Amino acid sequence: MSIREASNRLGISRNTAKKWLEQPEMVEPRYPKRASGPGILGPFEEVLAQWLKSDSHRNKRERRGTKALFEGLRALGYPGSRGPVYTFALRWRKEQDLAAKGPGYVPMHFDMGEAFQFDWSTEYAFIGGMRRRLEVAHTKLAASRAFVLSAYYNQAHEMLFEAHARAFAVFGGVTKRGIYDNMKTAVDKVGEGKKRIVNARFETMTGHYLFDPEFCNRAAGWEKGIVEKNVQDRRRGIWREASERRWNSLEELNAWLHKACVDAWEHLQHPEWTQMSIADVYQDERLRLMPNPRPFDGYIEHPARVSSTSLISFQRNRYSVPCEWVNAMVSVRVYHDHLMVVSPDGEFIRLKRCFERDQTLYDWTHYIALIERKPGALRNGAPFRTMPEPLRQLQDQLLRHPGGDRVMAQVLNAVTLHGLEAVLVAAELALQSGRVSAEHVLNVLSRLKEQTRSSEPVHTLLSLSRPSQANVDRYDRLRRAQLNGQEVSHA
């Protein structure tokens, strides 16, 4: 081809192509390295390198882009354009990618039924119309890679115990060891090497399930890398779908998570036995697990004093208890979803746990005994705002008349005797009739009780030789004889 066409294809000038062709042999041209000064970015290169290094340790969502770095340098007095900044940042990142990342790791192998690994992760989901921060417990069998996810509002002891109970119930057994990091709910103090002062309550839980806890070294997450990877994989899979949905309650979310985990075992490939799924390998490991005992009673106990308004305080919330316990010391047993309050006499009540803050949760039935002595508190009593709607309507009508508060107190007292459902039916019937009074409500309630009273058959030794038959003609004969003036013996 001509020199012009060759120079066009190579992107060089015709003089350069002609000069190369005149050389006796083909050699690669060498150009002297251009000596250049520090450039306009020189005084700022150290600062820019420090910014890039600090950003590399941050979360990806928190790292600054090159444009933000350029604006920061301009604020420090950098007079140049953004081209040198972009070139320096690109070269620095490439050097970091090619640099050694640290020491290597030894692959690990676990026998069937040998160990499980446990870890927490922080996720977000919409529950009850609000975006809530959740702590998700990941429990994964080290051999078969079967995993279970459970979501909670925090990482307290009672949540940790409930997560183990749920996971062991799904697995159908317990392994010989459990591998953890040095979480505060399990380790009170980290000593040298593998020395640990284990939390007493956590040790009681491990003794209940008969497995040995094992804790990783400090900042050595690779020692439980199986569950660490599970956190990343489930965040991109199961939890992505969970975060896009709307859940009415945390119980509904956990039920869906357990089903989604078991379904995922069927189609996820096992990393070591690639021809088998996790579910196939789990069927073999399930036979090697220790029997699963009854769930551990994982509560944390706190003492509390009942206030003069029959309230106890727990985690910046207040809960009502029976008014008979006023000024007494009670025991509050904290579970993952409820509170068990035990009185000094051994009586106990169950309260639904609230995870909000600065809330007061009343149960109006706790104040019935007190309202008998102080019926005037019905008019503005805060607990009675939570009564069912029929009782509230009945109260509004009774309080319009003198002495209506005492009448309403009698109606509420019937709840302890006959039950709430029966009193609600009686109140609705009284409201429909338009005659609202305590006597009317109690009368209706007594009649309802008589209707529901079962009639038991009477057992006797007497028997009829000829069963009686209904004969209305006999009555008609007696009636006709009486009309004709005849004397009839009715005996």
| pLDDT tens, the chain, 491 aa long | 899 998 998 888 999 888 888 888 877 777 777 666 678 888 899 999 999 999 888 877 778 888 889 999 999 999 989 899 999 999 998 888 877 666 677 788 899 999 999 999 999 999 999 999 999 999 999 999 999 999 999 999 999 999 999 999 999 999 999 999 999 999 999 988 889 999 999 999 999 999 999 999 887 878 888 999 999 899 988 999 999 999 999 999 999 999 999 999 999 999 999 899 999 999 999 999 999 999 999 899 999 999 999 999 999 999 999 999 999 999 999 999 999 999 999 899 999 999 999 999 999 999 988 888 888 888 888 999 889 998 888 888 888 878 888 888 888 888 888 888 888 888 888 788 776 766 777 777 777 665 545 556 667 777 777 777 777 777 777 777 655 655 555 54
Q: Give Dmax over CA atoms of the chain in angstroms.
A: 163
The CATH superfamily label for domain 115-286 reads: Ribonuclease H-like superfamily/Ribonuclease H (3.30.420.10)
* CB-CB neighbours of 68 under 10 Å: 12
pLDDT of residue 424: 86
CA dist., res. 151 & res. 175, Å (int) = 22
Element (H, E) at 342: strand 338-342
Q: How far is CA 68 from CA 174, 192, 307, 341, in A?
A: 52, 44, 56, 56
How far apart (Å, rounded) are the C-alpha atoms in residues 450 and 444? Answer: 10
Q: How is residue 386 written in tokens?
A: 């939570």
pLDDT at 113: 93
Q: Distance between CA atoms of 247 and 249, rounded to whole angstroms? A: 6
What's the CA angle centered on 227, arms 214 and 58, to 5 degrees?
A: 110
Query: In angstroms, how far is CA 13 from the centroid of its own chain?
Result: 71
Looking at residue 491, its pLDDT comes to 46
- Whose tokens are 């640099």? That residue is 99
pTM of the model: 0.69
| Three-class SS state of 310 | coil
- For the chain, give every domain's residue range: 43-94, 115-286, 300-361, 367-451
